[in-house]
């Protein structure tokens, strides 16, 4: 079985702070990480490698620095790493991104494509399903667990807010993985030193069979019109009251905020 895992390099948004003076994002010193859902997807693939002898390739699209997350994936145990990187991909929305990734995946010919459910910087959860659509692959999103059945099928648990479906999916297919599905392994020390002795394949637009008018900013149906920070909150009110009065104050405030 050949598995390709799509990983995205994202800023660790839990470390992002707003500058109270300017109201802008402080991005300095914010570490770049493998998107958490993607890391769970990679772990899923590595477990399949451990148990079935599958090969695992990792695919990322991004600037040259995104190589860092591919090294990390290699250090965790991936066999091969491909970076899709070209200035002409800049400004891609999810539509153009998924089209680009789909063209790279077409070259890789995977039996199983795994993506994280969503990335913590954009939180859209769109790229995985859109890649599946571009490739015409069966899709299962919000996957909470999976196991192989024979050589050509997977039994997967598809999660919903109020339950789950157990599905039998025929490969090739694309799944998007939930972070809670597993606890990803650490990189290993030997893996780290080996990762730097292995090549990372870089593909540019010229290496892919994709219409240049459909990618990057000009291939993207959506535009960001404006972005702004929500502004910092002022300190709240504190009341020293008995419990009953406290409960009343809380309810009153929550009603004003339409929380209840």
What's the min distance (Å) between Cβ of 97 and another protein?
Answer: 11
128 C-beta neighbours (distance < 10 Å), count = 30
CB of 62 or CB of 128, closer to another protein: 128
Peptide bond before 172: cis, by omega within 30 degrees of 0? yes
88 three-class SS = helix
Nearest distance in Å: CB 122, another protein: 6
Kindly give, in sequence order, each residue whose CB lies less than 8 Å from that of residue 65, ignoring residues fewer than 6 positions away.
9, 32
Nearer to another protein by C-beta: 20 or 206? 20
CA dihedral of residues 201, 46, 173, 218 (deg, nearest 10): -40
| Length, in residues, of the chain | 260
Q: Which DSSP state fits 20?
A: T
Based on CB atoms, which residue is closest to another protein, 3 or 184? 184
- Minimum gap (Å) between residue 239 Cβ and another protein: 6
Sort 142 into a burial class: Cβ within 10 Å, 0-12 / 13-18 / 19+: buried
12 vs 15, 34, 85, 94, CA distance in Å?
Answer: 6, 9, 21, 20
Q: Is 58 helix (H, G, I), strand (E, B) or coil?
A: strand
State which residue, 206 or 255, has the beta carbon closest to another protein: 255
Specify the residue, 21 or 259, whose C-beta has the smaller distance to another protein.
259
CB of 215 to another protein, least distance (A): 13
Least Cβ distance, residue 260 to another protein (angstroms):
6
> From the CB of 203, what's the least distance to another protein, in Å?
21
Specify whether the CB–CB gap between 73 and 5 falls below 8 A.
yes
Nearer to another protein, 107 or 245 (CB): 245
């Amino acid at each position: 079985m050949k598995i390709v895992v799509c990983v995205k390099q994202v800023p660790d948004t839990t470390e992002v702070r707003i500058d109270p003076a300017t109201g802008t994002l402080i991005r300095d010193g914010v570490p770049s990480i493998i998107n958490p859902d993607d890391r769970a997807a990679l772990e899923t693939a590595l477990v399949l490698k451990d148990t079935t002898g599958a090969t695992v390739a990792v695919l990322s699209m991004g600037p040259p620095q995104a190589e860092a997350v591919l090294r990390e994936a290699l250090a965790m145990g991936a066999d091969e790493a491909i970076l899709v990187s070209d200035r002409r991909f800049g400004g891609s929305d999810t539509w153009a991104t998924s089209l680009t990734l789909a063209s790279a995946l077409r070259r890789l010919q995977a039996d199983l494509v795994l993506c994280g459910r969503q990335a913590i910087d954009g939180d859209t959860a769109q790229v995985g399903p859109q890649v599946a659509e571009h490739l015409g692959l069966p899709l299962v999103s919000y996957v909470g667990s999976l196991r192989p059945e024979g050589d050509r099928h997977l039994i997967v648990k598809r999660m919903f807010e109020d339950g789950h479906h157990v599905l039998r999916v025929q490969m090739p297919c694309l799944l998007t993985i939930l972070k809670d599905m597993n606890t990803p392994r650490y990189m290993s020390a030997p893996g780290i030193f080996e990762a730097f002795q292995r090549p990372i394949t870089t593909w540019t637009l010229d290496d892919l069979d994709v219409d240049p008018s459909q990618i990057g900013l000009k291939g993207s149906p959506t535009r960001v019109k404006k972005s702004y920070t929500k502004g910092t909150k002022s300190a709240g009110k504190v009341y020293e009251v008995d419990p009953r009065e406290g409960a009343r104050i809380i309810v009153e405030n929550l009603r004003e905020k339409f929380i209840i």
